[in-house]
Structure 1
Amino acid sequence: MSGVLVATDLDRTLIYSLAAAGAPRPGERPWVVVERLEGRAVSHVTELAAARYAALARRHCVVPVTTRTPAQLARVQLPGPPARWAVAANGGVVLVDGGPDPSWTARVREALGGVAGLEEAAAELARACTDAPDARRHEVPGLFCYAVVDRPALPEHRLAQLRAWASGAGWGVSLQGRKLYVVPSLLTKSAAVAEVAGRAGAEVVLAAGDSLLDTDLLERATLAVRPGHGELADAGWTRPHVTALTTRGIAAGEEILAWFADRAAAGVAGAPGTGVAPGAG
């Protein structure tokens, strides 16, 4: 393995539901299924993306980084060798060979003692969903909560109220497709990736993501990339060391993986960007 660590978000960055994938290109071969739920195919990559991911994982330390719970992440079967490390629950869990790292879990629990509690956050999320009775609310025990909503049924004033509460309570709000997340601001992907980079001895971190919950990860990477869709693209968010693609949908996954391979092969130590320092966060 090289001294390069690739930290990548999954949903709507590398893997796609049918709704998020966009229309197949003319003559395109069937997509590769990378996740099934109750027998249904729910997440996909293109054949080219599958080949590129497998090649990247054989040459470099690739770390899936997701807001999914560990159980939800376990459903995803990416091509190539299994990841040694993964980050789940938006940085709340560091997985080592598929199991939670207890020392990281203890550090997260201690850090979250200084913000408003999950019970309060869940109550505020329920209030935001008052006008969306079909919303399905969930909690990730001890960490954060989210709701699966019908976006048109979620009034802007309810979303504004939730964001106002969150800003004063040490929490953040992110709306990704039909999922509305309420997550402690201290719970970051970048802190968990910094921990993994230190353990892996990585000097360079390349990162990709599409949502507000990926902002800190992209900010602190050596170099980063985002697709042409998602919350960050909608907001026009970028930084000097972040490549903003225009490609949208499942084809963006192919381009992101090509970007990773090119930057990793070139060796990007000393490139612009603040860098995710091992052990930071």
Structure 2
Amino acid sequence: MKTLIATDLDRTMIYSKAALKAAPSTADLRCVELAKHKPVSFMTVAAADLLAEVSAQTPLIPTTTRTIAQFKRIHLPGEPWRYAITSNGGNILVDGTPDPEWLGAVIDATRAAGASLAEVAAELQSRISDEWVDKFRIADDLFCYLVVQLDRLPPSFLTEWGTWCADHGWAASQQGRKIYSMPSTVCKSRAVAEVRKRLIAEGRLDASATVVAAGDGALDAEMLMAADAGIRPRHGELEALNWQYPTVALTDRSGVDAGEEIVRWFADRA
């Protein structure tokens, strides 16, 4: 194989009911995630069918900031996956099982690079209030995030918190109602590079294989820049920032229709 595909999931491949409302589509939809037996995430039928075809021909790596448990709720066309990346690159799943060696290396690198998760969590909790924070969560013992009320979020919070994080080897990023606090060592691009190396060693990928990637959020930017070619939808955090890069294309459409456009872009390159 001469191409490796790495794709973000939420608001890139799959779309929640809230995301569907933000950019309505007339396309037929397929549910690809259930939570408590209720449908929560969708793709267009055309995108789902084509993604199954593409992933049967070309190594495709689901690459998400979701925790392992959250990722396992998704039934993305093309599964089961030899490799999947969760926790923003902090975990690599091999045939559905977390690789302890990779996780250990990430944790060691985080300790060496700056503040510990415990220190960051304590500092963050000292800065937030129940008046505008609905949830505080630790994700897979690697990073933390908030779910906030956007209309009550203090205007200076993200800038001030981002500055503190940058001074301590971390970064802050907002995606919708979620504000992530992420170690600089936990990133999707490093995990994608590791999976590429393993696939080459297994003989499933040519040594000269190119990487193509898709994503919509600031946490995807490094992965998009590291890829030989990338694409992002006309919505999400990167769109709001007007983020551009010479090798990263933009979709014509937004919402779930952009997800279908991205799969077609993958198919052209596979």
Name the TM-score, length of structure 1 as normaliser. Answer: 0.89
Q: Does 1:118 align with 2:80?
A: no
Give the Cα–Cα distance (whole angstroms) in 2 for the partners of residues 48 and 227 of structure 1: 17
After TM superposition, give the deviation of residue 101 of structure 1 in Å.
0.9
Give the Cα–Cα distance (whole angstroms) in 2 for the partners of residues 91 and 11 of structure 1: 15
How many residue pairs get aligned? The number is 261
Q: Does 1:244 align with 2:250?
A: yes
| Structure 1 moving runs of 4+ over 6 Å | none
The corresponding residue for 1:175 is 174
Give the Cα–Cα distance (whole angstroms) in 1 for the partners of residues 101 and 109 of structure 2: 13
User: Is the 1:132–1:149 Cα contact (8 Å) retained in structure 2?
Assistant: no
Unmatched segments (≥5 aa) in structure 1: 265-281
The corresponding residue for 2:25 is 25
Q: Percent identity?
A: 44
Give the Cα–Cα distance (whole angstroms) in 2 for the partners of residues 81 and 235 of structure 1: 33
The corresponding residue for 1:275 is none
User: Is the 1:131–1:155 Cα contact (8 Å) retained in structure 2?
Assistant: no
Change (3 A) 1:25 1:88: closer
Q: In the alignment, which of 63, 80, 104 is matched to residue 102 of structure 2?
A: 104
SS of the residue aligned with 2:15? coil
Give the Cα–Cα distance (whole angstroms) in 2 for the partners of residues 148 and 260 of structure 1: 32
Name the TM-score, length of structure 2 as normaliser. Answer: 0.92
User: Is the 2:233–2:239 Cα contact (8 Å) retained in structure 1?
Assistant: yes
Q: Give runs of aligned pairs for residues 145-156 of structure 1, distance below 5 A.
A: 145-156=144-155
Deviations 1:155-213 (A, max 9, x none): 12122221110110111111111111100011110000000001112421110000110
Unmatched segments (≥5 aa) in structure 2: none
Question: What value does the CA root-mean-square deviation take over the aligned residues?
Answer: 1.4
Give the Cα–Cα distance (whole angstroms) in 1 for the partners of residues 195 and 255 of structure 2: 29
The corresponding residue for 2:260 is 254
After TM superposition, give the deviation of residue 128 of structure 1 in Å.
4.1
After TM superposition, give the deviation of residue 125 of structure 1 in Å.
2.7
The corresponding residue for 2:49 is 51
After TM superposition, give the deviation of residue 123 of structure 1 in Å.
2.5
Give the Cα–Cα distance (whole angstroms) in 2 for the partners of residues 134 and 222 of structure 1: 39
Give the Cα–Cα distance (whole angstroms) in 2 for the partners of residues 233 and 130 of structure 1: 29
Give the Cα–Cα distance (whole angstroms) in 2 for the partners of residues 160 and 130 of structure 1: 17
Q: Give runs of aligned pairs for residues 173-252 of structure 1, distance below 5 A.
A: 173-201=172-200, 202=205, 203-252=209-258
Letter aligned with residue 55 of structure 1: E
Letter aligned with residue 153 of structure 2: L
Relative contact order (alpha carbons < 8 A, sep ≥ 6): 1 or 2 greater? Answer: 2
Give the Cα–Cα distance (whole angstroms) in 2 for the partners of residues 252 and 128 of structure 1: 37
The corresponding residue for 1:36 is 34
Give the Cα–Cα distance (whole angstroms) in 2 for the partners of residues 124 and 235 of structure 1: 27
Letter aligned with residue 190 of structure 2: A
Letter aligned with residue 262 of structure 2: I
SS of the residue aligned with 1:253? helix
User: Is the 2:132–2:153 Cα contact (8 Å) retained in structure 1?
Assistant: no
